[in-house]
Structure 1
């Protein structure tokens, strides 16, 4: 794709980031709203939890399919359509009077969110100067991290007072603001290579792209997999008997916001491949530090947990930028980014499943961080082989 605009259009990136904030909030807040939703609709918690499942599957699996079918010469229309679907779906969620309507609205919200992020990242790299590409992606990922870390607890606090619908209205309003801003400030983007569906699918034969996706998969298996079990790990007698996990998750999230934003400035000076290597190595070391520090005092783990959040979120900036670069002349950059999101969701599921085996077989809990460190170190070695 061709760079079509200059610094004056960086404002459009901020509006994309606002949409990413609402996306991050929508992705994670439903889990916290389950008791309220269950009470209102008088359904089982198992059925209520499927609201999270359907959003996740639609986001991680449905979005690449939709992106693959979208015409490349209609990227602005595609972005605005995805954001409009996301905005409307959350609004309908807030108004839903039957559980089936809420379920279907979460499905469409997930599709809209996944398509929006993939196209948004691809477009952001075209409306800024080439040297600002990493900074633009980091701004979007920072918005998503902020939506998770700041938007979710604020939304839960408000919803506990006004009802779970309040969070859905908040998400919808933020999505609407982003839509209005992008409608007026985002220029028509030219230069995306128009391809047939069969040509797009050849992306799956691109070894460079597959390598990047594999690195994202390994990072998600280790990072998001261990994150799933952070509370039972720190709650165990051997590692501090922590009763309140909230401060630790806050530090992880704040690290994620800082890492997502600051990595954009680092990306200007360091190649994407080298930056990815550094991040994978730091992740591997961080995971090994956590059990040793937790043995001594669990509060000491806040330092590696901040680093974990920072580099874990930061990783997707060089990864996504490298995908865009790899497909710049071949086309399909937006599909590559969508597949990267799918790799993250798949890796998270694999990591959670493998972590569950440790509990099933009653193995020592220090296996969790050591396994995470080993997996991400394999990714580091694999990444270094190509540098």
Structure 2
């Protein structure tokens, strides 16, 4: 598992880089002489590059040794962050964030596939949880540290911290990461088949809707809590969400390994997300500290979801696991971007912020319904196949 922990260090750096920029936007905008809204486009560029690069590169280079690709992706990510720290103006900054996003997207997909290949099948859930826990811990611990560092030494110092962490993970992996079995080369037709696979597409669709609900709403927690409960200091509530995320992402893996029921766990987790988001506004209005409990549960469920999701994709597409994981990671980031964009449009149109958690709960409920429908359909197909098998046996007897 030592090698998996090194992969988790890279994931920690990704989690820090993906979320810390939102807290640095005003400082960055002031430093390079632009507006916050224009500086915010570096988050959009990073997200889109992440989402597009993961399935594209993982598919085109699926025949290349994963060890080489993992280190190359982490090197590109680290280079992109160094470019960010040095960027003199908005154009260079946007280009640097695109480079970092490409490296992050490819590394995220390949690191989870490599982690699962480095351990026996019965410990796959734990390995995936370690990598996912690295990303959630980067959000919980790294983001406050990064913002604090930026306040004392400037935002570029935070980016140099991200660069240094990426370099440490890169050196460690270059020395200690063993060879990982490569997927066979994947043709364009096969990559498109993975997108339209009736077993893969619904799982990825659930991840997309969960990201719309969970990661999208996270962007607007401050106005939501202020509107629902008059909360002016949002930091403790963000910590509650983040601590829940670490607990959920770490505990989900052993639970999947112990029960072997990844699909059942997905349904339970989605139901928890719906309930915790729906309860957030009334809890905040009645007793604001009680909203922290809902955020803790929501954070735990939101981050726990991807461990069984990844486990299911690897089980369904053992021959194209990396492509399936890349598609899932793209769905997560596209869902996050869509959720943030829709929330911003809703607020711009005059929607009260406290309504957003109910809208997010609705998106999560759609994901739960999609999951349940697919499971019921699969159950009917299995029973039908069993009946045909029994009939065939009877006819031959």
| TM-score, normalising length: structure 1 | 0.91
* Structure 2 counterparts to residues 211-226 of structure 1, below 5 A: 211-226=202-217
Aligned to 1:249: 238
Aligned to 2:166: 175
Of the candidates 292, 297, 303, which is equivalent to residue 293 of structure 2? 303
Shift of 1:327: 0.9
Shift of 1:161: 1.4
In 2: Cα distance, 1:104 partner to 1:353 partner: 21
Q: Larger deviation: 371-380 or 319-328? A: 371-380
Shift of 1:374: 2.8
In 1: Cα distance, 2:100 partner to 2:352 partner: 39
Which stretches in structure 1 are left out of the alignment for 5+ residues?
Answer: 1-9
* Structure 2 counterparts to residues 106-185 of structure 1, below 5 A: 106-185=97-176
Shift of 1:155: 1.3
Shift of 1:213: 0.6
Cα 1:354/1:31, change in 2 over 3 Å: closer
Shift of 1:203: 0.8
Of the candidates 345, 365, 368, which is equivalent to residue 356 of structure 2? 368
Please say if 1:77 is aligned against 2:65. Answer: no
Please say if 1:340 is aligned against 2:331. Answer: no
Please say if 1:195 is aligned against 2:195. Answer: no
Q: Greater Rg, structure 1 or structure 2? A: 2
In 2: Cα distance, 1:95 partner to 1:365 partner: 37
In 2: Cα distance, 1:340 partner to 1:86 partner: 20
In 1: Cα distance, 2:323 partner to 2:301 partner: 24
Aligned to 1:283: 273
| TM-score, normalising length: structure 2 | 0.89
In 2: Cα distance, 1:222 partner to 1:282 partner: 12
Aligned to 1:13: 4
In 1: Cα distance, 2:29 partner to 2:274 partner: 39
In 2: Cα distance, 1:231 partner to 1:159 partner: 20
1:89–1:109 Cα contact (<8 Å) kept: yes
Equivalent pairs, count: 374
Cα 1:78/1:303, change in 2 over 3 Å: same
In 2: Cα distance, 1:352 partner to 1:50 partner: 13
Shift of 1:362: 4.0
CA RMSD in angstroms, aligned pairs only = 1.8
Which stretches in structure 2 are left out of the alignment for 5+ residues?
Answer: 376-397
Cα 1:297/1:195, change in 2 over 3 Å: same
Q: Larger deviation: 45-54 or 293-302? A: 45-54
In 1: Cα distance, 2:3 partner to 2:353 partner: 46
